Chain A
């Protein structure tokens, strides 16, 4: 069961269209290190976690990533919504426009569609948590590159907040990995 709340977890403010940044930021919607991949990865890995703390962390972070996905969508939607076709063409979004108009679709910055092969679910909690920690670092790097590419303080503010969340999630996954190690080690002591 999930419940939708009619509010963004972090506010999005967009003062001018910027289809070029929309084209870049959309990778955090449907790219390899984006929020959809993160959410689905954690929510599907949680079933085979051996301890309640790990199940809790994956459930809660997987859910928070859905909220991040909505924030990224709100950013992209508003950056592209009022962009004239001439600008869409100028920044190379015309191929995207041909398939999607200004609708949201799960692609990376180069237009490649989302694929489940971005994520893994291995059944081994140590393996999965290492993937999750790497995923948070990859997302952090991506947000840093996006911040480098933007010159809009309102957009940068949201990207910085999302970047910080990756750092916190990495920390929680690291603690979870330690707890899983403790659990696996304790099982061999009789």
Chain B
């Protein structure tokens, strides 16, 4: 995997993790306005980065959640567990 791709994916992962963590917190603190604002900010930035990533490297999601305009790129390698030594 090229360095730019890895770097972008790590930024996505960091935001995704932020969203996962804030989402869990909000499940038990649904009235917390600051957490809600942080969740929405992280999600918005996450959507932006995912769009960039998908344009370059293909869809992150299938089932209609991502577009695959030119060709069917979903099955392109690497799959997440195919990490190089």
Contact = CB atoms under 8 A, between A and B. Distances in A.
Interface in B55-82: 59-63, 65, 74, 79-81
A34 to B, nearest CB: 17
A176 B25 CA distance: 10
Contact of B28 (A13, A57, A73, A82): A57
The residue in B16, B27, B59 that gathers the most chain A C-beta atoms within 10 A of its C-beta is: B27
A4 interface: yes
Contacts of A56: 27
Contacts of B10: 11
A57 B24 contact: yes
Given A168-B21, A172-B27, A179-B28, A6 B85 contact: no
Given A3-B63, A73-B81, A61 B24 contact: yes
Contacts of A7: 9, 12-13, 16, 60, 80
Interface residues of B, number: 27
Contact of B80 (A16, A61, A70): A70
Contacts, number: 78
Interface in A67-103: 70, 73-74, 77-78, 82
Contact of B85 (A9, A10, A15, A169): A15
Contacts of A14: 83, 85
A12 interface: yes
Given A3-B65, A74-B80, A74-B81, A10 B28 contact: no
Given A6-B74, A7-B60, 14 more contacts: A9-B13, A10-B13, A14-B85, A53-B28, A53-B30, A57-B27, A64-B20, A64-B24, A73-B81, A74-B80, A168-B24, A172-B28, A175-B29, A179-B28
B30 to A, nearest CB: 7
Contacts of A53: 27-28, 30
A60 B23 contact: yes
A5 interface: yes
A61 B21 CA distance: 10
Contacts of A134: none
A110 interface: no
B45 to A, nearest CB: 16
B83 A74 contact: yes
Interface string B11-49: 011001100110111011110000000000000000000
A8 interface: yes
A6 B65 contact: no
A78 B81 CA distance: 8
A4 B62 CA distance: 7
